[in-house]
Amino acid sequence: MNTALNDATNGVLNETTNTVHKHETGASEFETECGLIHHVAPDNLCRVSVERAVTSESTDRCGRCFPGAGGY
C-alpha cells in the first residue's frame, strides 16, 4: 500500500453538497468514517486531500467525520 498516496487523497468530497468527509483508512474507495455517503452515486464523489479541501471556503466539513466542524 502506498501511504504517500493515501496521505494525498485521505478525504472524499460529495460534489452534490460540497461536503468533505474523511476516507475510512483501508476501506473501499468511497467509504467514509461516518458512512453517510453510501447512498451517493460514485459519479458525485471524488477523492480529495482533506488538508486542501478544508481550506476551501466553498466546501463544508462533515460534522461526523470532523468533530467540532458544526456542519452536516
Give residues in contact with Zn ion (CB under 5 A).
Answer: 21, 32, 34, 62, 64-65
Q: Which is nearer to Zn ion, 4 or 34 (CB)?
A: 34
Cell digits of residue 11? 478525504
Residue 10 to residue 49: CA distance in whole angstroms? 6
Position with the least CB separation from Zn ion: 62
- Residue 18's closest CA among 51, 42, 66, 54? 54
Smallest distance, Zn ion to C-beta of residue 23, A = 10
Smallest distance, Zn ion to C-beta of residue 32, A = 5
